[in-house]
Each structure stands twice: as C-alpha cells, then as structure tokens.
Amino acid sequence: MKVRAEVGDITRLSVGAVVINLFEGVKQPGGATGAMDRALDGAITRLIASGEIKGKKGEIIRIHTLGKVPPERVLVVGLGKQEEFSQDTVRYVSGEVSRFLRDIGVSRAATVTHGAGIGGLAPQAAAQALTEGALLGLYRFTKYKSRDEEEKEPEELVLVEMDRSKLPALEEGIARGTVLAEATALCRDMVNEPSNEMTPSRMAEIARGIAQEEGLEISVLERSECEAMGMGAYMGVARGSHEPPKFIVLRYWGDRDNPSNGLALVGKGITFDSGGISLKPAEGMGEMKGDMAGGASALAAVKVLVKLRARVNVTAIVPATENMPGGSAQKPGDIRRAMNGKSIEVDNTDAEGRLVLADAMCYARRLGMRNIVDIATLTGAIRIALGEYRTGVFGNNQPLIDRLLRVGQSTGERMWQLPMDPEYKEQIRSQVADIKNTGGRAAGSITGALFIGEFAEDTPWAHLDIAATAWTDKEKGWQVKGATGVPVRTLVALALDLAEKK
Ligand code: BES
Ligand code: MN
Ligand code: ZN
C-alpha cells in the first residue's frame, strides 16, 4: 500500500472509504468528524447518542453513505480516552484500520491524520505514526504459500488535510514512516524465515546487499579468522554446526568529522537455537528460528539510518551461527576463552547468546565504540519478569539507558529497566574459570545481563533482552502474528537522538 498526503475536503472525495476518528466520551465531535457528521445530517452524533459509537481505542464503526456524500463508506475509529492518547495510539488504530480496509476489500481510502487535531500531536509525528501503523499492520509473511488465498492489500491511503501549509510536514512524516516500516518489515522477514533459509551465510548476504545498495563498509569474518582473533566463546557455540558461522560487521559513517562518535549495535545472531548438547524440549523449538532477531534488528536499523542520512557513525556487529548438538559440539563443563582473555565455564550450552555476544562486545570495544547497545533474544526468564509488552533494559550507563527509555516511549516499543546489583554476580561465579555462563533460575535475565556486562567493561553499554517482545501470537494494532520487528524503530530513534544531542 502507498501512503500519501493531499489537500482537500474529506467529505467530498470519491473513495471507497473515509476514515475519521472520535475520542471516547465525546458527544459533539468537531473538526473533520464534525464536518462529516453535518454532511451526513447528524448520523454520527445520533450513533454516538444511541451508544453504537463509543470511541473506544481501536473500535471501528462502518457507516454506508448510500450516495449522500461521495465517499462510499465512513469509518469512525475510536482513539480511546484522551488522557491516555499518545503517538502510539495513532500507530495502533492505524494498524487496526488498515486491516479492516483490507478485510472489506477497499482499495482506495482517505483518512484524517489522527492525533494532529485535538490529539495535540505535531503533524509530522502524527503522519509518521499513522504510516508506520498502516504499513506494519498490513504486514504478512506469505512467500511459502503456494496459492494466494488472502485478501488483496489496499492500494492507497491518502492523508487529507484542509490546511495547505501542513502538507510538507505530513509528507516528511509519511516518508520517514515508510522507511521505518520497510526496514521493520525486512527485520520481520528475516526473523520469520525458517532457519534452513536464514542461515548465517544468508544473513551475511543480506548485510552485503545493504552495504552494496547504500555504499557502506562491510566485513564478514569467517570461522578461521574468528579463531585467529581469539573468539573462543563465539567459536565454542559454532562448533556444533556444519553451517559456517559468519561474524558480520556493517559500518555506516554518517559523521566522519567525529570518528570517535560511534554507536555499536551488537545483535545476537543465532539462526537456530536447538540448545546444543543441553538440548531444548521439542515443543515450541521451531520458534528458535527467530533467535537472530537482535542481529536482524541491528542490520535493519543501519539501513534506515543511511536512508535518513543520520549524522552519526553506527556499526552493526552480528555474530551469526547456529547452536547445534553436532559431534564436535561444546559440552557442559567445557572452558573457553573470550577475545579479552576471560575464561568461561560453559555450564549450559543453551546459554549460548551471552557467549557469542561476549566476543562481539570485545570486538566492539576494539573498534573504539563510544556507546554499545546489544540486542538479544537472551532469556526465557524475561517473559516471566515482564511478559510480552516490555523489553527488558539493562546496562552500565544510566544516561544511555534513560535515552533508550525515553525514545522507546514515542516509538511504542516499550521497555523497562531491571536492576544489576553486584550481589547477583555471585550466581555466575565459577569454581574453575573466571565466570560461568549460567546463574540458576532466580533472576535469570539479570544474571544474563551481568554476564554480558563483564565484556562491556568500562564502555557505556545497554542491553535489550527482546526474548519476549521479538515475537507475538496476537494480531493487535501495528503488530501481527509472528516476528514484531522490535526494536528496529527504537534503535533508529536512539541513533538519531545521539546525532542531535552529542
Ligand atoms: N534463545 C534462548 C532464549 C529464548 C527463550 C528466546 C524463549 C526466545 C524465547 C536462549 O538462548 C536460552 O536458551 N536461554 C536460556 C538460558 C539458560 C540456559 C541460562 C533460557 O532462557 O532458558
Ligand atoms: Mn539458548
Ligand atoms: Zn538462544
């Protein structure tokens, strides 16, 4: 679907549907909703009075106009309570509306820019959120379906605005929203792809493709090079698989005048996590094809930053490999050394994410990165702690964490900080090595984060545990079943924030 903006009067357009909105509790709507109500001789206010239109968040009421006005239908979408309204409400309702349009087979629709009126959002921010929601809400992963049994996607959604002076802001918002939604879809595609296709080699090819298209620097380290660099932790994980590991480094130089102003996005790239010798149970193991979601989000975020010409240097680092129980696989009790010389007791081969990240963190530090953010489907325990609505944030630098929490508020990819008190470190102390890769059931996400922190050392670092947010089995707002694309938009927002306020 294409989203664009146009100056015009929403009551006079010949389209399949016009989308207007209503806050919960409003009895006499103003703005475009009021105008449409008058054009329909008070039909909307009557439906509000009778209780059929309530304005609850995501509610969509369809009114057939039967020739009274040029649009064939009017959809009144509820924005919920005004005091709970935010940019993310726009994204949410926009996702619901776009699927509704698809379901009822409308190919051209027009809409007001939800939130830009009494919602109080800046027109650009509202248009961006609307675009992101509409495009992400329509996302489907259908490439392996032989027959196209699904409804056709709407062709066009037009943001209609009376005031010509607002048009440039709307267009800028649409352009940004489109770029972000496309990159998020790329991330979703990579995560939804089965592991027989989305191998480490395929991830490297995708990264090469981005580099070629956008003119970026890329290097892909092979097994022998990683061995030679002393990446013992990462290589330990890769031993169990025949699939060649690929250590992907994709670099965007958006601020060459400040070469030291670098942000590293270190993304876990386990293309399949069987657990290794500490094999996972069969049930639900297929979901582990998505264990490279962190890596996919890092690559996708870089792609957006180039397109937006962000004035910041960003390097995506993705240690990609399978975690398999092959004949040469590492075994519980093995001791391996990471690139910084620290020895690690591999107590459980299923705690592989922190192992591959350990070396990737060391590598980021060698590149002299000022800030490091790692993104990982790291622990099942994060679902127990936070459920699927918030990503867990950890780190050694409160200003960096605060930035993430703040930008996550506007992207709607909500996060919550968890503690890292030194007492928890006791749990990952090893009898035989410098550190152990498991810390028991208690505070599993925290001990995972503390492990990674050992390799961040004194570099400002934040860790995002997306194990419960990268994937969903619900269709709600801008999310659909399968990969969510979290936290691509937040990584982009963070980098843009770092570019603006150095
Ligand atoms: N990839 C998993 C974490 C995961 C679980 C992601 C569920 C998505 C959904 C990770 O590698 C893992 O296996 N973690 C272990 C760590 C434990 C052995 C210390 C876990 O959470 O059980
Ligand atoms: Mn695992
Ligand atoms: Zn894993």
pLDDT tens, position by position, 229-254: 999 999 999 999 999 999 999 999 99
| Cβ of 472 less than 6 Å from ligand 1 | no
% of the chain exceeding 90 in pLDDT? 97
How confident is the model at residue 294, as a pLDDT?
Answer: 99
88 Cα: distance to centroid of ligand 3 (angstroms): 30
Question: How far apart are alpha carbons 151 and 99 in whole angstroms?
Answer: 10
SS3 call for 187: helix
The bridge status of strand 482-483 relative to strand 471-472 is: antiparallel
| Ligand 1 lined by 350 (C-beta under 6 Å) | yes
Look at phi and psi of residue 181 and say left if phi exceeds 0, alpha if psi is from -120 to 50, else beta. Answer: alpha
DSSP reduced 3-state for 342 = coil
The residue whose CB lies within 8 Å of the most ligand 1 atoms, and thus the one to mutate among 324, 350, 386, is 350
User: Alpha-carbon distance 250 to 300, whole Å?
Assistant: 11
Helix, strand and coil percent figures for the chain, each rounded to 5: 40, 20, 40
Q: What is the mean pLDDT of residues 287-315?
A: 98
Q: Does 381 sit in the ligand 1 pocket, CB within 6 Å?
A: yes
* CA gap 57, 491 in Å, rounded: 27
Please give the Cα distance from 293 to 486 (Å, whole number): 8
Contact in structure between 457 and 365 (CB atoms under 8 Å):
yes
Q: Which of 270, 277, 378, 438 to mutate to test the pocket of ligand 1 (most atoms within 8 A of CB)?
A: 378
Q: Which residues surround ligand 3, an ion (CB under 5 A)?
A: 270, 273, 291, 353
Q: Per the structure block, which two tokens stand in for 231?
A: 């990446």
Closest C-alpha to ligand 1, atom 8: 467
Gap from CA of 75 to ligand 1 centroid (Å)? 43
**How many C-beta atoms lie closer than 10 Å to residue 463's C-beta?**
31
CA 65 distance to own-chain centroid: 39
Q: Measured from the CB, is residue 352 less than 6 Å from ligand 1?
A: yes
* Cα gap 183→178, rounded to integer Å: 9
* Atom number, ligand 1, closest to the C-alpha of residue 444: 19
CA 480 – ligand 2 centroid, Å: 25
- DSSP code at position 280: P
Domain residue spans of the chain: 2-163, 182-500
The string of pLDDT tens digits covering residues 138-166 is 999 999 998 877 789 999 999 999 999 99
Tell me the per-residue pLDDT of 471-486, one tens digit each, with 9 for 90 and over: 999 999 999 999 999 9
Q: Which of 207, 176, 172 is nearest to 302 (CA)?
A: 207
Do the beta carbons of residue 179 and residue 308 sit within 8 Å? yes
| Beta pairing partners, 496 | none
Q: What pLDDT, on a 0 to 100 scale, did the predictor assign at position 148?
A: 74
Would you please indicate which residues are annotated as catalytic (active-site) residues?
280, 354
Residue 377 CA, closest ligand 1 atom number: 6
Please, are residues 358 and 435 in contact by the beta-carbon 8 Å criterion? Answer: no
Nearest atom within ligand 1 for CA of residue 323: 11
Average pLDDT, the chain: 97
- Give CA separation, 271 vs 73, 198, 220, 375, in Å: 46, 7, 16, 14
Which helix (H) or strand (E) element contains residue 366?
A: helix 353-366
Per-residue pLDDT tens digits for 346-405: 999 999 999 999 999 999 999 999 999 999 999 999 999 999 999 999 999 999 999 999
Which of 206, 240, 14, 209 has its CA nearest to residue 109?
14
pLDDT, one tens digit per residue, over 44-58 is 999 999 999 999 999
**Nearest ligand for residue 427 CA:** 1
User: 3-class SS at 434?
Assistant: coil
Whether 417 and 464 have beta carbons less than 8 Å apart is answered as: no
Token pair in block for residue 52: 């059929």
Residue pair 18/109 in contact (Cβ under 8 Å)? The answer is yes
**Relative to the alpha carbon of 384, which ligand is closest?**
1
Residue pair 137/480 in contact (Cβ under 8 Å)? The answer is yes
The answer for residues whose C-beta is within 8 angstroms of residue 402's C-beta and 6 or more apart is none
- Are 199 and 304 within 8 A, CB to CB? no
3-class SS of residue 329: coil
Pocket test for ligand 1, best of 356, 379, 441, 447 (most atoms within 8 A of CB): 379
Tell the residue nearest (CA) to atom 14 of ligand 1.
Answer: 379
Query: Does residue 487 have a cis bond before it (omega within 30 degrees)?
Result: yes
Whole-angstrom distance, CA of residue 29 vs CA of residue 18: 16
Residue with CA nearest ligand 1 atom 18:
351
Distance from Cα 238 to the centre of ligand 2, integer Å? 13
If you measure from the C-alpha of residue 380 to the centroid of ligand 1, how many angstroms do you get, rounded to a whole number?
5
Residue 429 backbone dihedrals phi, psi, to 5 degrees = -75, 140
> For residues 446 and 462, what is the distance between their CA atoms, to the nearest angstrom?
13
Nearest CA to ligand 1 atom 17: 351
For residue 52, give Cα distances in angstroms to 11, 32, 287: 21, 19, 41
Q: How far is the CA of 352 from the centre of ligand 3 (A)?
A: 6
Say if domain 182-500 classifies as CATH 3.40.630.10: yes
* C-beta 465 within 6 A of ligand 1: no
CATH class of 2-163: alpha beta
Whole-Å CA distances, 124 to 252, 281, 316? 26, 48, 28
Q: Six-digit token pair at 393?
A: 């944030």
Relative to the CA of 447, which ligand 1 atom is closest? 19
Give the tens place of pLDDT for each residue, 100-153: 999 999 999 999 999 998 899 999 999 999 999 999 999 999 999 988 777 899
Q: CA dist 335 to 342, 429, 433, 437, Å?
A: 10, 13, 7, 10
Q: Please give the Cα distance from 49 to 51 (Å, whole number).
A: 5
Nearby residues for ligand 2 (ion, Cβ within 5 Å):
273, 350, 352
**Given the CA of residue 278, which atom of ligand 1 is nearest to it?**
18
Q: Read off the pLDDT of each residue in 320-340 and give the average, rounded to a whole number.
A: 98
The response to whether residue 353 sits with its C-beta less than 6 Å from ligand 1 reads: yes
Question: Would you say the CB of residue 467 lies under 6 angstroms from ligand 1?
Answer: yes
How close is the Cα of 378 to the center of ligand 3, in Å? Answer: 6
Q: Are strands 313-323 and 391-395 parallel, antiparallel or unpaired?
A: unpaired
For residue 256, the cross-strand partners are none
pTM to 2 decimal places: 0.98
**In 81-175, which ranges are E strands?**
108-111, 156-161
CA pair distance 465, 485, nearest whole angstrom:
14
* Alpha carbon of residue 372 to chain centroid: 17
Identify which of 495, 75, 76 has the alpha carbon closest to the alpha carbon of residue 297. Answer: 495
- Please report, as a single letter, which amino acid is at residue 256: R
Q: For ligand 1, say whether the CB of 379 is within 6 Å of any of its atoms.
A: yes
